[in-house]
Amino acid sequence: MIVVTGGAGFIGSNLISGLNKNGFENIILVDDLTRTDKIKNISDLRVNDYLDKHEFLSALDRNQLGTVSSIFHLGACSDTMVSDGRYVMENNFTYSKQIYEYCQEHLTQYIYASSASVYGANTVFAEHPENERPLNAYAYSKFLFDRYVRSRDADKKSQVVGLRYFNVYGYREQHKPKMASVAFHFYNQYRKFGKVKLFEGSDGYANGEQRRDFVFVDDIVSANLYFMNNPDKNGIFNIGTGQCRPFNAVAEAVVNTLAERDGKGSRTLEEIVSAGEIEYIPMPEILHGKYQSFTEANLSQLRSVGYTNAFASVEEGTRLYVQWLLKNDAEEACLACH
């Protein structure tokens, strides 16, 4: 049996899809389905059972799950702007510890989602405590659990892997509203308004040139499956492309993929800006001092444990994602007509 917490969410539903493609269907999907918009993420997935996130903890305490080989812990409060720190810590830190203790007692693989947000405003993105300076409650909860895992390293009895995701984008994130990827927002802005909005320059970067390590969700799934299939690998690892790209590059890729759909040719960034299809707006006051203008995963540690897969470029991943969004929008429109 495999457990995926947050299984109806963005990365969780893609992971279950990846497990299904590799022949795994004996899966318990754990999530909070109070918001039913996540049902769309899981309607095509093959799982054996569902548990509410609170029922899951109770089942752990009572040893009611049977034999569990692996737990992928992806469930969390991922809104970096939430002001209720107690809620964030309970969901992201305390919950994660309870699963950790179960996995150690039952010799179960534990692969959990950490976050590149733990690095805060730092510009060195290697998995060392001295590089970690969280700027908000979400980042702090991830930082503290990573610290907890490290403190137990000498005593662990089974595999424990923390994966620090950088800026993930891709399929099945439409339920996330404001926390969805910029690729998703750019796609919707362009289709609705004929232009996309990026932040004006900040922290020494020109308009739209703030840089992030944008990683396609298929690559996230591949990394999770690698560690599941290599239970001797332990540690905390960055999962990104290892190459930062400007937000302008994502906007350019979205606009050109949509233009391709309409039978038009690709244009340069300068041509798109000149046509008024990119608008630069001031950064909201609420983000001042909490915004990462630069991220770039150091992949040395990931490569050192034998993970050799290449990562999709922004152009490759965005093109696939926009094509998927167009297909799904068309299918929904067709269903609405019937």
What are the pLDDT digits (tens) for 144-185? 999 999 999 999 999 999 999 999 999 999 988 788 999 999
* Better-predicted residue by pLDDT, 92 or 124: 124
- Give first-to-last CA distance, the chain, whole Å: 39
Average pLDDT over residues 14-43: 95
The catalytic site residues sit at 138, 176
Residue 186 has pLDDT above 80, yes or no: yes
Structure tokens at 164: 């620090």
Q: Are residues 257 and 166 in the same domain?
A: no
- Lowest-confidence segment of 162-166, 175-179, 212-216, 271-275 by average pLDDT: 175-179
Q: Are residues 230 and 322 in the same domain?
A: no
Which CATH number is 104's domain given?
A: 3.40.50.720
Q: Are residues 23 and 37 in the same domain?
A: yes
Sheet-wide strand order for 235-239: 49-52, 27-31, 2-5, 70-73, 109-115, 160-165, 235-239
Residue 84 has pLDDT above 70, yes or no: no
Local confidence band at 292 (pLDDT 50, 70, 90 cut-offs)? confident
Q: Are residues 113 and 257 in the same domain?
A: no
Residue 261 has what pLDDT? 87
Residue 90 has pLDDT above 50, yes or no: yes
CA gap 150, 59 in Å, rounded: 26
Local confidence band at 218 (pLDDT 50, 70, 90 cut-offs)? very high
Average pLDDT over residues 287-299: 83
With the CA atoms of 290, 150, 1 and 221 taken in that order, what torsion angle do they form, in degrees rounded to the nearest 10?
40
Residue 79 has pLDDT above 70, yes or no: no
Spacing of C-alpha 305 from chain mean position: 22
* Better-predicted residue by pLDDT, 264 or 148: 148
Q: Are residues 153 and 281 in the same domain?
A: no
Average pLDDT over residues 108-119: 95
* Better-predicted residue by pLDDT, 121 or 311: 311
Residue 47 has what pLDDT? 97
Local confidence band at 334 (pLDDT 50, 70, 90 cut-offs)? low
Q: Are residues 100 and 195 in the same domain?
A: no
pTM for the model: 0.93
Q: Are residues 105 and 184 in the same domain?
A: no
Q: Are residues 129 and 77 in the same domain?
A: yes
Local confidence band at 2 (pLDDT 50, 70, 90 cut-offs)? very high
The fraction of the chain above a pLDDT of 90, given in percent, is 74
Q: Are residues 82 and 182 in the same domain?
A: no
Local confidence band at 236 (pLDDT 50, 70, 90 cut-offs)? very high
Across the chain, what does the average pLDDT equal? 91
Average pLDDT over residues 49-64: 90
Contact assessment for residue 283 and residue 210, using Cβ atoms and an 8 Å cutoff = no
Average pLDDT over residues 220-244: 98
Contact assessment for residue 159 and residue 234, using Cβ atoms and an 8 Å cutoff = yes
CA gap 189, 187 in Å, rounded: 6
Residue 264 has what pLDDT? 86
Residue 289 has what pLDDT? 66
Spacing of C-alpha 149 from chain mean position: 20
Structure tokens at 195: 């232009």
Q: Are residues 143 and 283 in the same domain?
A: no
Q: Are residues 36 and 113 in the same domain?
A: yes
CA gap 239, 247 in Å, rounded: 19
Average pLDDT over residues 97-114: 96
User: What is the DSSP pairing of strand 245-246 with strand 211-212?
Assistant: antiparallel
Spacing of C-alpha 326 from chain mean position: 21
Residue 338 has pLDDT above 50, yes or no: no
Contact assessment for residue 46 and residue 72, using Cβ atoms and an 8 Å cutoff = no
Domain count, the chain: 2
Name the residue among 242, 254, 256 with its Cα closest to residue 297.
242
Which CATH number is 192's domain given?
A: 3.90.25
Q: Are residues 106 and 188 in the same domain?
A: no
CA atoms 298, 174, 178, 277: torsion sign: positive
**Residue-range definition of the domain harbouring residue 197:** 177-210+245-291+317-337
Residue 31 has what pLDDT? 95
